[in-house]
Each structure stands twice: as C-alpha cells, then as structure tokens.
C-alpha cells in the first residue's frame, strides 16, 4: 500500500449538501495523500465540468445520486456511455437508499453493473468516510504504479 504520492491527485466531488461537502473536505485534508479537490453542486454542472477541456481532470469522481438538475443515475449513465469518460472511476454516495439489506444489495449490484466502482450509503460516520476516501485513493495510486488502469 503506497500512501506517498508526490503529485496531487485531482478529485471531483459532485454533491449538493453543504454538510456532506464540509465533512468530505475535512476527511480529505486529514489523509496523507496530496490531492486537489473540485466540487460541483448538481448534475448539469458535473457534466459540463468533465466534458470541458481543462488542466484539472479528475482521477476519481465521488458522485451523489440525489442532486438537482440531473441526478447521479443520469450522470453515471452519460459518463459510462462516453468514450472519453467511461474509464473515470466513480464512487457513488447516496442517502436515497433505505436501510433494507436486500434493497441495498440490489442497488449496489445495479450501480456496479452501470459502471460504478462502489457505492456508499450516507449517513456514514466521519471515521468511516475518511477511511473510505483513504482506501480508494491508495488503491488508485497502487493501480497507477502497477500500470493497471481498470
């Protein structure tokens, strides 16, 4: 597990909830990996950002399912159907899934089949959020170091 990564990893958070943004930023700041975070607040802003050429294209997208103007499902479908975007790793965050284990398992399988790397149900506790972010970024770095882009 390599946590020493020199160049910052560009992370994109698509989230409309101010509290969730605050805790995400705080957790990201506490992990020992250099990152640069960009935040978009709705699905249309997300799609505009990732389809526009600029120097800070994300290596990982954290995507809220329940966003205004275009929801996370719509964005995930568009991303995975776009040749230039389909390899962007996406971790789905959602409060919209009930605490029913059967429904959650079905939703997890559905999102994975749609191309999501993983799904995380909110509300999560802060320690869990920090650990998830750290683990996913470490896995991403390790894949880059070994040349595995999947």
Architecture (CATH level 2) of domain 14-138: 3-Layer(aba) Sandwich (3.40)
CB neighbours of residue 84 within 10 Å: 10
Alpha-carbon gap, residue 73 to 23, rounded angstroms: 23
Domain boundaries, the chain: 14-138
Which tops the pLDDT comparison, 77 or 99? 77
pLDDT of residue 96: 56
Banded pLDDT at 109 (limits 50, 70, 90): confident
Whether the pLDDT of residue 122 is over 60: the answer is yes
- Residue 82 is predicted with a pLDDT of 92
Element (H, E) at 19: helix 18-30
In sign, the C-alpha dihedral spanning 7, 140, 89, 63 is negative
Backbone CA torsion sign across 65, 81, 39, 136: positive
At 147, the pLDDT band (50, 70, 90 cuts) reads: low
Residue 1 has pLDDT above 70, yes or no: no
Average pLDDT over residues 87-95: 86
Share of the chain above pLDDT 70, in %: 86
Q: Quick one: average pLDDT of 24-49?
A: 93
């Amino acid at each position: 597990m390599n946590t020493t990564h020199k160049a910052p990893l560009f992370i994109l958070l698509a989230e409309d909830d101010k509290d969730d943004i605050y805790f995400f930023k705080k957790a990201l700041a506490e992990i020992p990996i250099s990152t640069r975070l960009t935040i978009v607040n709705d699905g249309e802003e997300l799609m505009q950002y990732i389809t526009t050429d600029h120097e800070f294209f994300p290596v990982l997208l954290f995507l809220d399912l329940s966003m205004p103007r275009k929801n996370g499902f719509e964005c995930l479908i568009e991303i995975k159907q776009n040749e230039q975007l389909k390899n962007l790793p996406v971790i789905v965050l959602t409060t919209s899934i009930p605490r029913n284990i059967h429904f959650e398992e079905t939703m997890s399988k559905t999102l994975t089949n749609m191309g999501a790397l993983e799904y995380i149900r909110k509300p999560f506790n802060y320690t869990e959020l920090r650990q998830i972010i750290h683990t996913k970024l470490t896995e991403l770095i390790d894949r880059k170091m070994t040349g595995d882009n999947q």
